[in-house]
Amino acid sequence: MNYFIETIGCQMNMCESDKLGLALSTYGVSKVNILQEANIVILNTCSIRAQSEQKAFSFLGRAEEFKQDNPNTKIIVMGCMAERIGFEIKRRFKSVDLIIVSKDIDNAVFKIADLCNLYNYNYSFNKIEDFPNIIRYVTIMRGCDNYCSYCVVPFVRGREISLNDLDILEESSLLVKKGAKEIMLLGQNVNSYRYKDFNFISLIKNIATINDLERIRFMTNHPKDLSDELIGMMATESKVCSHIHLPMQSASNKILKAMNRKYSYGHYIDLVKKLRMAIPDISITTDIIVGFPGETKEDFEETFKAVKEIRFGGLYVFRYSPRPNTKAANMPDSVSLEEKKRRHRLILEESNKISVEIAASMVGSTQQVLAEKIENGIIEARTRGGRKVFVKCSNEKDLGRHLNVTIKEAKINSLFGNII
């Protein structure tokens, strides 16, 4: 038996797909990269924008077509859409065999095993020897309580829950034992992590004690909850990378208020300054939404100006998309599609320009990089700030190692260097 898994959406979904893959491998089910080679087809869905849901529907169309000629194929849908519109999916796609909702995610493998009559000859996470990934994701929180007015996450993922710190530590240690060198901690708002007496800072300090773990990253942060104490810890804890993803969404105070983000642009700028003061080489990345209801040309100008001034290390920009149940869905979607596209393009062009300039300014510098992959004699690595660096490989054993590299050439999203 083998499975194909299509993952749409955020790192949280990647993490859950990865975990399910690991669990399936203990049943002797192996992964294939082509849908047409699979007996079990799994779709992990995302509801964040209408476009993400469209992608899932077109994938299901393809899977259904394949199943017509291969009726023994099982089709399984999990993730946010399973939660939000599981019934509708079942109604539209009769070929779907199983819908797994978020609360059942920990039992997903058992449900699939039941459906496909899989026999678990070796169910122990400890015994898995493959998956030698250098970077591994660990979920530390589920759900979200913030109710940003545009966002569907609180409705599909439910209330915010912090997971047990000991479980997180154990899972991270195990992944490091299996070869991981970098752990990325995941939650919708990791800054509000709290389990009994443990807050996010104590959690990171504990994870940093794992021998052989080289790097820790985390996402996503919320500007309203990012504390001075966390910034201080990032500056002093050497395993924590010089990177923070800090979604700004907009720089107009009027729009931030309508988004229910609970901070002003002034507060955001203060955080940027504090971060840069404490961690001079930090790369700050962000998310921006253009065309939110009521966003005038002036509001957009403020965001555009902020992008120019802050000089993010990278950013994701999204056209606002009304989502069911959210507060913003009741506000008139006032910006035309054409204007949303224009604003989207302007932000993207500016941020690409800045990204190229930042990359060019790194030429000649020495960077500590972590070798994540080796393919065809080329090492794919990443700087502490998160930029991709390609380096000629002279030793296969460099995989998973920290290397010091001189940057020789720069392109938009990648750098090229030589090992010192």
Question: What is the closest distance, in whole angstroms, from the C-beta atom of residue 106 to ligand 5AD in the complex?
Answer: 24
**Are 72 and 37 within 8 A, CB to CB?**
no
Q: How many helices (H) and strands (E) does the chain have?
A: 12, 20
The distance from CA 19 to its chain's CA centroid, rounded to whole angstroms, is 15
**Are 139 and 161 within 8 A, CB to CB?**
no
Q: Per CB under 6 A, which of residues 271..300 are in contact with ligand 5AD?
A: 287, 289
Q: Which residue in the set 11, 39, 120, 146 belongs to the binding site for ligand SF4 (CB under 6 A)? A: 146
Q: Which residue in the set 17, 26, 189, 286 belongs to the binding site for ligand SF4 (CB under 6 A)? A: 189
Q: Per CB under 6 A, which of residues 135..154 are in contact with ligand 5AD?
A: 150-151
The yes or no reply on residue 144 touching ligand SF4 (CB under 6 A) is yes
Q: Is 211 helix (H, G, I), strand (E, B) or coil?
A: coil
Check residue 179 and give left, alpha or beta (phi > 0: left; psi -120 to 50: alpha): left
Q: Is 188 helix (H, G, I), strand (E, B) or coil?
A: coil
The yes or no reply on residue 222 touching ligand SF4 (CB under 6 A) is yes
Please provide the DSSP assignment of 72-127 as one string: T-EEEEEEHHHHHHHHHHHHH-TT--EEE-GGGGGGHHHHHHHHHT---S---GGG
287 binds, among ligand 5AD, ligand SF4, none (CB under 5 to 8 A by kind): ligand 5AD
Upper half-sphere CA count for residue 27 (Cβ side, 13 Å): 21
User: Residue 411: which residues within 8 A CB-CB, separation 6 or more?
Assistant: 356, 359
Q: Give the residue with the Cβ less far from ligand 5AD, 48 or 256.
A: 48
320 binds, among ligand 5AD, ligand SF4, none (CB under 5 to 8 A by kind): ligand 5AD
Question: How many amino acids of this chain bind ligand 5AD (CB under 6 A)?
Answer: 12
User: Residue 181: which residues within 8 A CB-CB, separation 6 or more?
Assistant: 134, 135, 212, 213, 214, 215, 370, 400
Pick the piece of the chain touching ligand SF4 (CB under 6 A) from 67-75, 148-156, 172-180, 304-312. 148-156
Q: Give the residue with the Cβ less far from ligand 5AD, 3 or 318.
A: 318
Pick the piece of the chain touching ligand 5AD (CB under 6 A) from 121-129, 257-265, 272-280, 320-328. 320-328
The yes or no reply on residue 218 touching ligand 5AD (CB under 6 A) is no
DSSP 3-state percent helix, strand, coil across the chain (nearest 5): 40, 25, 35
367 binds, among ligand SF4, ligand 5AD, none (CB under 5 to 8 A by kind): none
146 binds, among ligand SF4, ligand 5AD, none (CB under 5 to 8 A by kind): ligand SF4
323 binds, among ligand 5AD, ligand SF4, none (CB under 5 to 8 A by kind): ligand 5AD
Q: Which residue in the set 249, 250, 285, 355 belongs to the binding site for ligand 5AD (CB under 6 A)? A: 249
What are the residues binding ligand 5AD (CB under 6 A)?
48-49, 150-151, 247, 249, 287, 289, 318, 320-321, 323
What are the residues binding ligand SF4 (CB under 6 A)?
144, 146-148, 151, 153-154, 188-189, 222
